[in-house]
Amino acid sequence: MVMSTIWTLVLSVLISMGLALGQDQKSVPEIPVKVGASFFQIGSDHFLVAHFENFPGWHTYWHNPGDAGLPTKIAFSQQGKALLLTEQERIAPKKYIEEGDLWAYGHEGAYSIFFKIPSDTARALETPFAVKASWLACKHICIPGHWEADLQLAQSKLEIVKSSPENIAQIDLSSEEMQARFAMLPKVAPWPPSLDLTLHEGTKEKELILFLNFPRVYEMAPNYIGKPLLIPFPNAPFNFGHDQWYRGKGPDLFGKTVLEWDGQYQDPPLALPTNGRFAKALSLKFIFYPPTGEAPVVIEKMVDHFQKGQLKELDSFYALLHKIPQVHAASAAEDQKDAAIPPQDEASASDEGEQGLLWIVLLAILGGFILNFMPCVLPVISLKLFGLLKHSADAPAKLWRHNMAYVFGILISFLALGLLAVFFKISGQTVGWGLQLQSPRFVAIMCILLFVLTLNLYGLFEFMVPGGKILGNVSIKEGFIGDFLSGILATVLSTPCSAPFLGTAITFAFTRGPLEIIFIFLSVGLGFSVPFFITSIFPGSMKLLPKPGHWMEHLKKFLGLTLLLTAVWLLDVFQALTDGTLPTTKLAITLTLTFFAFYFQKNISKKFLWRALIFAMPLLAFTHLLLWPNSTSSSVTPSSGLLTEKQAQGLNWIPWSEAEMEKARELKENVFIDFTAQWCFTCKANEQFVIETEAFKQMAAEKKLKLLLADWTKRDEIIGKWLLSHGAAGVPAYYVQRSDGQLKFLGETITLEEITDAIGP
């Protein structure tokens, strides 16, 4: 990119020289740029100031000149040694769109560049020192300019001892004029909290794409028409292309800029990291023009990684937005008072934006609906349907209330999950789908809760079955509480499962702002609730269910078995989460004492004192279990039990690490990467129907596949951050790294054909 910029500049100069030969010489001013220098003091701070005044209609260039041009440079020296002065921020530039769609950033008219003098240097300036300045002045042609002068500070006044050329040093400003220009310099400001910036891997080699989201711009500035909000400083090793801004239906503004990685030109050279994480955080610094017309400021964002694998979804979203035409920039003093986007453009933008937002919401709703049929939640959904059968003869209003209590429990739970995701994102921690199942204590509580519900279904005690009417002496009011808690339980048990479309929606949510995260999570909850909305809105659909009868008692026993099997599965997950066998033994003892307590109060004694003593035993065991310092690892562990199980299936799985990926890349090996967890039901289904089949084993042998396994059963920051930066919000997630080093994300559901196609011939 550096070479292309050089060739663009050379070509521009050659064209300008050709045009100059054919131009009337009167159109070229004798002095395109006048210069001057002054000493300036404000408070206790002292400055050397270089002044420039461009001929009307001509401009010189800023730090970042854009596609072509040269930045204005000033250097001070004394007796051949550089004077170390601190340059202040230059006045905010304007953007020029020149012939051939070349973008440039620079200044028209008069401006000054300020250099702060260190306190230990001020006295040395009483001895003559030199200034050298160079620039490129452009209009219809470009003319390079330079100025060299000897300066000397005498009684707080800067004198020009010698100047070359002599006729251009014509500027001498008063203290008041310099103070006015100093006040126009942009101040450093915090990064706007509402301006969301994410960096993504592009489709070309050494290409990155910067995505920006600026909410409520059109509420703050209804007439905004595409003047630049951000002008980048020279941000090595990033080379900025042209930014493009988009508008959707609402007041939000979206931006997209292609960046080229120029790390190979750094000293020492910097390679674009294949894992998406920079060796150290890099700066993205901009001049920010607030859309409401306030003075421009300098903002900076440090980035330590770029995301991989989400570009397709983002490009699909941006394709539905309205592209805002680019216009020349306003200067710092100008107000954005131009006409708004024409009504027909705004209307089309609204339609396209609505389609984009609707697409994301539909993915979330559809993914939530499919969750109802995943094995994680079938036991609880079955219990709810069991409750619906009990209410099939009730009035529609009562059926509506029971279903709405269940739906409310779901929506409250998804709202809580969304808020938790926002909290983790704001605090800088990684978050993924099903993250709570990486907590041994949470899994232990869920295991005991499901075991207690199992004992209820087998008649050891009378309790409100979620969605049930009345069992024992429990009142109708508690039935609604049972429905509400049933909705919460269904939500919690749904998180080990992923579903088609759900992964895309959740991953996209984790890249957005807080309100969008919460909105998408609520959309998933809405989709999860759809079956119960249907039975509420169309009570006649209850006729499709079988009529209540004695068979329901037998069904209740079967549902009890499904809950018991779920509890056993959670016991296995708990064992995988904890080190050693002692914690699992404690949980098993707690379950046994729980069973004995309920059996005792049902069949042996109903006296309160005896029951209190008996129930104290599982309660104490449970308390001791929760207080036990369960040890979980925080890194990828080669001794993973899940790894051992997978190796027993006859394939040579190796623990995943970025180092193993890099080693395979150097050896030009094809790699299949499986991100999985012991608690992930969808992972188990993919293993059963694809990964552990003879066809997969044969394909792996033919393609000489290197198999890497990342076990996310336990919380692991390395795996979590890698997944988020490569387009996945949780497990399962499958990737193929080809022998040429190209990484391809296969999603959360796979087929043998997809894996084979991704690997290639």
Phi, psi of 304 (to 5 degrees): -115, 0
* Residues in Cβ contact with 607 at an 8 Å cutoff, skipping those fewer than 6 apart: none
CA 376 to centroid of chain Cα atoms: 28
Tokens of 537: 């809105």
Among 132-146, 289-303, 346-360, 449-463, name the one with the lowest average pLDDT.
346-360
Helices then strands, counting H and E runs in the chain, come out as: 21, 27
What is the per-residue pLDDT for 342? 34
Q: Are residues 276 and 336 in the same domain?
A: yes
Cα→Cα distances 4→72, 132, 232, 267, 511, Å? 20, 28, 19, 19, 33
Cα→Cα distances 257→211, 230, 355, 364, Å? 7, 11, 23, 28
Q: Does residue 602 belong to any structural domain of this protein?
A: no
Q: Does residue 712 belong to any structural domain of this protein?
A: yes
What is the per-residue pLDDT for 388? 65
Phi, psi of 309 (to 5 degrees): 95, 0
Among residues 135, 164, 185, the one where a domain terminates is 185
Confidence check: pLDDT of 175 > 70: yes
Q: Are 259 and 208 in contact (CB under 8 A)?
A: yes
Helices (H), 628-749: 641-647, 658-666, 681-686, 694-702, 717-725
Number of domains in the chain: 4
Give me the sign of the Cα torsion angle 527, 529, 531, 533.
Answer: negative
Class of residue 629 by CB neighbours under 10 A (exposed 0-12, middle 13-18, buried 19+): exposed
Q: What is the DSSP letter of 27?
A: G
Phi, psi of 329 (to 5 degrees): -75, 155
The stretch 285-297 carries a mean pLDDT of 89
Q: Are residues 486 and 564 in the same domain?
A: yes
Tokens of 461: 């005690």
Q: Which residue has the higher pLDDT, 678 or 616?
A: 616
Q: Does residue 632 belong to any structural domain of this protein?
A: no
Confidence check: pLDDT of 720 > 60: yes
What is the per-residue pLDDT for 507? 60
Confidence check: pLDDT of 634 > 70: no
Confidence check: pLDDT of 373 > 60: yes
Confidence check: pLDDT of 330 > 60: no
Q: Are residues 675 and 567 in the same domain?
A: no
- Taking only the tens place, the pLDDT of each residue in 405-425 is 888 988 998 888 888 777 766
* Residues in Cβ contact with 114 at an 8 Å cutoff, skipping those fewer than 6 apart: 40, 47, 48, 49, 87, 88, 182, 185
Q: Average per-residue pLDDT in the chain?
A: 78
Q: Are residues 331 and 388 in the same domain?
A: no
What is the per-residue pLDDT for 18? 43
* Residues in Cβ contact with 70 at an 8 Å cutoff, skipping those fewer than 6 apart: 9, 61, 134, 135, 136, 144
Q: Are residues 149 and 262 in the same domain?
A: no
Q: Are 551 and 393 in contact (CB under 8 A)?
A: no
- The rounded percent of the chain whose pLDDT value lies above 90 is 24
- How does residue 464 score in pLDDT terms, banded at 50, 70 and 90? very low
Q: Are residues 117 and 205 in the same domain?
A: no
What's the CA gap between 510 and 404, in Å, rounded?
28
Q: Which residue has the higher pLDDT, 101 or 175?
A: 175
The stretch 657-661 carries a mean pLDDT of 88
* Residue 508: closest CA among 356, 658, 369, 376: 356
* Residue 50: closest CA among 99, 110, 8: 110
Confidence check: pLDDT of 755 > 90: yes
Q: Which residue has the higher pLDDT, 299 or 435?
A: 299
- Taking only the tens place, the pLDDT of each residue in 2-29 is 444 443 444 444 344 444 434 444 467 8
Q: What is the pTM of this model?
A: 0.48
Per-residue burial over 362-373, b = 16 or more CB atoms within 10 Å of its CB, e = otherwise: ebbbbbbbbbbe
Q: Are residues 404 and 299 in the same domain?
A: no
Q: Are residues 552 and 669 in the same domain?
A: no
Query: Which own/partner pairs from 153-161 qualify as long-range (CB within 8 Å, at least 24 positions apart)?
Result: 153/39, 153/122, 153/125, 153/126, 154/126, 156/39, 156/41, 157/39, 158/37, 158/38, 158/39, 158/48, 160/37, 161/128
What's the CA gap between 390 and 479, in Å, rounded?
12
The stretch 157-169 carries a mean pLDDT of 89
Highest mean pLDDT range out of 269-283, 503-517, 522-536?
269-283
Q: Which residue has the higher pLDDT, 178 or 268?
A: 178
Among residues 164, 185, 206, the one where a domain terminates is 185
- How does residue 504 score in pLDDT terms, banded at 50, 70 and 90? low
The stretch 132-153 carries a mean pLDDT of 91
Highest mean pLDDT range out of 11-20, 167-176, 219-228, 508-517?
167-176
- How does residue 681 score in pLDDT terms, banded at 50, 70 and 90? confident
What is the per-residue pLDDT for 732? 85
- How does residue 500 score in pLDDT terms, banded at 50, 70 and 90? low
Q: Are residues 38 and 175 in the same domain?
A: yes
- We report the CATH number of the domain holding residue 687 as 3.40.30.10
Q: Does residue 596 belong to any structural domain of this protein?
A: no
The DSSP line for 244-258 is: EEEE-SSS-EEEEEE
For residue 137, the cross-strand partners are 143
What is the per-residue pLDDT for 518? 83
Cβ neighbours, 10 Å, residue 31: 14
Among 295-309, 635-649, 739-753, name the one with the lowest average pLDDT.
635-649
Among 131-140, 255-264, 424-433, name the one with the lowest average pLDDT.
424-433
3-state secondary structure of 371: helix
Q: Are residues 216 and 251 in the same domain?
A: yes
What is the per-residue pLDDT for 264? 85
The stretch 433-462 carries a mean pLDDT of 77
Tokens of 730: 């949780």
- We report the CATH number of the domain holding residue 30 as 2.60.40.1250
The stretch 171-198 carries a mean pLDDT of 91
* Residues in Cβ contact with 137 at an 8 Å cutoff, skipping those fewer than 6 apart: 32, 33, 54, 55, 58, 59, 60, 143, 144, 145
What is the per-residue pLDDT for 600? 86
Radius of gyration, CA atoms only, the chain:
34
3-state secondary structure of 404: helix
Q: Are residues 535 and 436 in the same domain?
A: yes
The stretch 541-565 carries a mean pLDDT of 69
What is the per-residue pLDDT for 630? 54
The DSSP line for 517-529 is: HHHHHHHHHHHHT
- Taking only the tens place, the pLDDT of each residue in 473-482 is 333 334 677 7
What's the CA gap between 703 and 707, in Å, rounded?
11
What is the per-residue pLDDT for 88? 96
Among 428-437, 453-462, 524-533, 630-639, name the one with the lowest average pLDDT.
630-639
What is the domain range of residue 465? 374-579
Cα→Cα distances 462→23, 184, 453, 480, Å? 99, 77, 10, 16
Cα→Cα distances 62→70, 84, 185, 245, 326, Å? 8, 21, 13, 23, 20
- Taking only the tens place, the pLDDT of each residue in 44-65 is 899 999 999 999 989 999 999 9
Confidence check: pLDDT of 702 > 60: yes
Q: Which residue has the higher pLDDT, 4 or 673?
A: 673
Q: Does residue 710 belong to any structural domain of this protein?
A: yes
Highest mean pLDDT range out of 115-119, 434-438, 475-479, 519-523?
115-119
The stretch 600-624 carries a mean pLDDT of 84
End-to-end CA distance of the chain: 33
Cβ neighbours, 10 Å, residue 325: 10
HSE on the CB side for 308, CA within 13 Å? Answer: 20
Confidence check: pLDDT of 628 > 50: yes
Q: Are 74 and 82 in contact (CB under 8 A)?
A: no
Q: Does residue 393 belong to any structural domain of this protein?
A: yes
What's the CA gap between 578 and 678, in Å, rounded?
12
- How does residue 436 score in pLDDT terms, banded at 50, 70 and 90? low
Q: What is the DSSP letter of 679?
A: T
Q: Are residues 310 and 396 in the same domain?
A: no
Interior angle at CA 364, CA 360 and CA 367, nearest 5: 135
Q: What is the DSSP letter of 264?
A: G
What is the per-residue pLDDT for 108? 93
Q: Does residue 381 belong to any structural domain of this protein?
A: yes
Among residues 296, 321, 342, the one where a domain terminates is 342
- How does residue 543 score in pLDDT terms, banded at 50, 70 and 90? low
Strand 253-261 and strand 238-247: the pairing is antiparallel
Q: Does residue 617 belong to any structural domain of this protein?
A: no
* Residues in Cβ contact with 166 at an 8 Å cutoff, skipping those fewer than 6 apart: none
Confidence check: pLDDT of 341 > 70: no
